[in-house]
Each structure stands twice: as structure tokens, then as C-alpha cells.
Structure 1
Amino acid sequence: MITQLNHTDVSTAKSILHVQKPAYDIEAKRIQFDGIPALQDTAETIQKSKECFLGYTDSTSGRLAGVLAYDRTAKGTDITRLVVHPDFFRGGIASALLAHLLQLKESGPMITVSTGAKNAPAVRLYEKHHFTRTGDAEVAPGFFITHLQKALKSV
């Protein structure tokens, strides 16, 4: 089940962190870069975030299994994090969260996202959902991120 999360609640913030930390640890190894800013998050920084958070709760265990966070911008929506706890990898959770976001009326005309250029599973996920690569940027010596975007149909 996908719901809007109240990340300002300390218990919810800790649950988000419990999903995010192991997911980003694996990504950091995959892309050979441990400078992912979200690895430095604490429950307090999540509580203070201005992002909107969606959560996927596993119906069997009742655990928060995936999180998508986004910011609304003048041009639409910027996905700021999309993580799935490793216990739930390959279960379609990231796709479900992304599809949910794409259906929200307040998403605006354009959705953008950036991910590590070497994070092939993430790039494939966005391309599967018809995001288009708009370029790469070197954000640290020898480390590149890939920018992607998707124009949404007007309603």
C-alpha cells in the first residue's frame, strides 16, 4: 500500500532512515562513490526536510519497504530519492512508487530525476517508465550523475 508519509513524525523519520540507509549503502558500493548526501541523513534531517514523502508498506510484514521523496518546482516535480529496503529488492516496489507519483495531479508538466550514472538498475527503471536522459554531469572528480526527465500529458 502506498501512502503519503508524515516525515516530521520522529517514528516515521526513523522508519524512512531504516529503508534509506541500507539502500544507499548498496548503491554507494555499486557506483563506487560513498559521497551520496542521503547517507549523512539522520532522523532529524529527514524531519526537517521540505520534501514530500510517499511510502510503500509491505502488506505481509507491515514494514515500510520503499520510499519516494520529491520536491515540487516551478516546472513540475523533482524526485529527490527513491529507495527500497534490500529485503524487498526486485519486488516491483520502486516501479509502484514511481507509477503512483506519475499519477498525482500535482506532479505538474515535467518530472526530473538524477541518479548515479553507474547505477544501471536505477537508470533502467526510469527509462522503463519513459524518462529520457538529458545529460550527465561530473559532481565529484570522476563521479557522474545522469539527469533524466519525463513530460507528463496535460489533463
Structure 2
Amino acid sequence: MIREIDLNDNAQVLDLLMLQQLSYRVEAQLIGFKEIPPLWDSPKSLKESGELFFGYYEGHRMAGSVSVKQTPKELTICRMMVHPDFFRRGIASRLLEYAESLAVPGMLLKVSTGTKNEPAVNLYGKYGYKPGQTMEIAKGITLTVFTKRVPQSDNR
């Protein structure tokens, strides 16, 4: 089940922070960079992020989360995370599909990840995202921005 996370509910925010810590530590190991910004978040910084967060729940346990920011022209997937206990169960795919469902036809979708984060790179490729800009964030560490456009509906 996927539902919006209430950032004014301290229990939900603490669950989200724990998930984020566990998930992004794995990415930090994959890309060889321990300074990933989500590892330094606090309840306050999450609330001030301007992002909408959605959690994927198995029973009462938050197994994954995705966050987005939307403008009239694009939807940016800001964070995608899955609890390590729930890896390889299709949760990231379901979260990505959910995030995409928030966009309107013709809208640009954008997401970035560590270039060396093979599981994420493969996931975005599987869903039709094309790699674009690569940015060096530290010596030898790069992020790749992936984009895709939501197809226009046939009902014109």
C-alpha cells in the first residue's frame, strides 16, 4: 500500500528518517561517497524540503518511500528509497510507477542518482528514462540526471 507521509506526524517522520538512513547508506557504499545529503537530514529539513513524500507499507512497516516536487512543466523525483530488508521485491518499481502517475501527459519527469548506483541506473533505464547531464559532486563521484516525458494521451 502506498500513501502520503504526514510530515507533521513525528512518528511517521522518524520512520522516514530511519528508512532514509538505511537506504542511503547502501547507496553511499555503492558509489563510494559518504556525504550524500539525505544522510544529514533531520525532521526539520524534511519538513522544509518542499517535497511530497509517499510511503510504501508492508503492514504497518514502511518498506520504501519516494518524494517528488512538481512544477507546471516537470515532476522531479527527489528521493527513492527501499529498506534493505525489502530489497529485490519490486518496491522501487511500484514507487516509481506511483510517482509517474502524479504527472500529467506531456510532462517531463526527472530523477538523478549516483552514476555508479547500478540498481537505480538499471531501474530508470528499464522504465525508459534516458541518461543526460552528469555532474561531478566530489572528486571522482558523479550524479547522472535521467529524464523521460510522460506520453500525451490519445484523447485530444
One of 111, 126, 131 as aligned partner of 1:113: 111
- Residue 47 of structure 2 corresponds to which residue in structure 1? 47
Correspondent of 1:103 among 93, 101, 104: 101
Give matches, 1:5-154, under 5 Å: 5-59=5-59, 62-106=60-104, 109-154=107-152
1:77 alignment partner, SS class: strand
* Alpha carbons 1:10, 1:47 under 8 Å: kept: no
- 1:54 aligns to what SS in structure 2? strand
**What do the CA deviations read for 1:59-96 (whole angstroms, capped 9, x no partner)?**
3xx20110000111242111110000101011100000
Letter paired with 2:131:
R
Percent identity of paired positions between Structure 1 and Structure 2:
38
For residues 84-141 of structure 1, give each alpha carbon's deviation from its aligned partner in whole angstroms, at most 9, with x where no partner exists.
Answer: 0101011100000001111224586011011000001000011111111113111212
Q: Distance in 1 between matches of 2:78 and 2:128?
A: 18
How far does residue 18 in structure 1 lie from its aligned partner after superposition?
1.4
Q: Where does the alignment leave 5 or more consecutive residues of structure 1 unmatched? A: none
The SS at the match of 2:152 is coil
* Cα separation, partners in 2 of 1:89 and 1:140, compared to 1, 3 Å: same
Structure-1 separation of matches of 2:111 and 2:98: 15
RMSD of Structure 2 on Structure 1 (CA): 1.5
Compared CA separation, residues 31 and 48, structure 1 to 2 (3 A): same
Tell me by how many angstroms 1:47 deviates: 2.5
Note the C-alpha offset of 1:37. 0.3
Number of matched residues? 153
Distance, in Å, in 2 between the alignment partners of 1:73 and 1:103 is 15
Q: TM-score, structure 2 length as denominator?
A: 0.92
Give the SS at the match of 2:89.
coil
Runs of 4+ in 1 over 4 A off after TM superposition: 105-108
Letter in 2 for 1:134: G
Distance in 2 between residues matched to 1:87 and 1:101, nearest whole Å: 22
Higher mean C-alpha deviation, range 94-103 or range 41-50: 41-50
- Give the TM-score of the pair, scaled to structure 1: 0.92
